[in-house]
Structure 1
Amino acid sequence: MNLPSKAIAILLLCAPSAFADTQVRSCVFDPDSPQSCSRFVGCIDDEGEYFHGTYIGQTSGTLSGRTSAGETCFGTWANEEGKDNGASTLTCGPESARFKYFARSNDFNVVSGVAISNKGRRMISWAGADLKGYLQVRYPDKSRSGIQCGETFVPLPDLSKTEKGS
């Protein structure tokens, strides 16, 4: 599997909440492993609310994480065969969305996705093997890597917080 496909697979979605607590204590990207792990992060509307977590797999898999409001997130993702794009589903509490995602950077193996949730809120996400590096290049004037959610800059959560679901 090529690295952009791997990154696409990274994109959003989570596993059931019971799995979310045990999914990944050590998130390691390994393009040769079906248990390869990477991070995702995204915005919900333009109010500064965000979600983050990890995903497992190569061309398809599971995602788990949490919103900034404390909702547990879970879902699945899958690449379109032979392409650098795909789809994922994400459920965070009572809200759910189906994302379409596309390769953004082969240098960093990052994809981004967009969706409108069942509550009518716009959601955007980024995922990939070197998400931190990609975000540092995208927002170079910030002291930490992160995402811009409307007028609010959201620093990339520490992986330890992602793993613990906080």
Structure 2
Amino acid sequence: MMTLAKSTGVTRHIALLAVLVVCGMITATAPEAETLSVPGLTPDTPPKLDLGPCENAPYSQANCVRVLACIGHEGVHFDGQARGWDTGEVLGQLSTGAPCAGTWTSGGLFGTGHSILTCEGGMRAQVLYHTLHNETGTVEGSGIDSLGRRIQVWTGLNVLEFLEKETGKLATLPCGTGRNQVDVPIS
């Protein structure tokens, strides 16, 4: 105890960290203790999945547009990309951090299409959508997930501007309806 009192400030901080680790009040989350997680100070938001560049290229399998979706009415949402033309893949992640992958196909009657998505942890989603503007990949859709939650989907080159015009609010996903609606900020 006497040594700790006479030690430098750095030594006291190291000693305090050691006590907090031993007591289980903080944890090292990386394999070699490179990341320190402190409850109340460490952000709850998982790191965003890097899907690479996404550029609109109409009529090409290289086409890519952003996909945003609300799942239920408690603020869970999906942020990702739809790649391809007439058919392709969907990649992204839930706001919980779970990565997701699936497929989409268009060409149905009156600009309709469908998508199936599976996320880490087993959640599956099925969505039917309607194309609003083919060249920009703008679609609106709805569906349900394997937990019975309603899904609302928007995609397209200008999806953020589309949502701003639809909701009248700057960059928010309108998750849910009426009193159950949660506006999720998105950028």
State the TM-score, normalized to the length of structure 2. 0.64
Q: 2:69 aligns with which of 32, 36, 42?
A: 42
DSSP 3-state at the match of 2:160: helix
2:30 aligned with 1:30 = no
Shift of 1:82: 6.9
Alignment gaps of 5+ in structure 1: 1-20, 158-166
For the pair shown, which has the larger CA radius of gyration, 1 or 2?
2
Shift of 1:109: 4.6
Tell me the amino acid that sits aligned with residue 149 of structure 1: C
Equivalent residues, number: 134
Q: More deviation in 98-107 or 120-129? A: 98-107
Tell me the amino acid that sits aligned with residue 148 of structure 2: G
Q: CA RMSD in A?
A: 2.2
Tell me the amino acid that sits aligned with residue 95 of structure 1: M
Q: Which residue number in structure 2 is paired with residue 10 of structure 1? A: none
Alignment gaps of 5+ in structure 2: 1-48
Shift of 1:129: 2.2
Once residues 34 and 109 of structure 1 are traced to their aligned partners in structure 2, the CA distance between those partners, rounded to angstroms, is 13
Distance 1:45 1:34, change over 3 A: same
Tell me the amino acid that sits aligned with residue 148 of structure 1: P
Matches within 5 A, 1:16-165: 24-80=51-107, 83-93=110-120, 94-104=122-132, 109-140=137-168, 142=169, 144-150=170-176, 151-157=181-187
DSSP 3-state at the match of 2:61: coil
Question: Does the 8 Å contact 2:58/2:135 carry over to 1?
Answer: no
Tell me the amino acid that sits aligned with residue 118 of structure 1: S
Q: Which residue number in structure 1 is paired with residue 34 of structure 2? A: none
Q: Which runs of 4+ in 1 moved over 3 A?
A: 104-109
Once residues 46 and 60 of structure 1 are traced to their aligned partners in structure 2, the CA distance between those partners, rounded to angstroms, is 29
Question: Does the 8 Å contact 1:41/1:156 carry over to 2?
Answer: no
Distance 1:109 1:60, change over 3 A: closer
DSSP 3-state at the match of 1:134: helix
DSSP 3-state at the match of 1:88: strand
Q: Which has the higher contact order (CA 8 A, sep 6+)?
A: 1
Shift of 1:106: 6.8
DSSP 3-state at the match of 2:53: coil
Paired-residue identity, %: 31
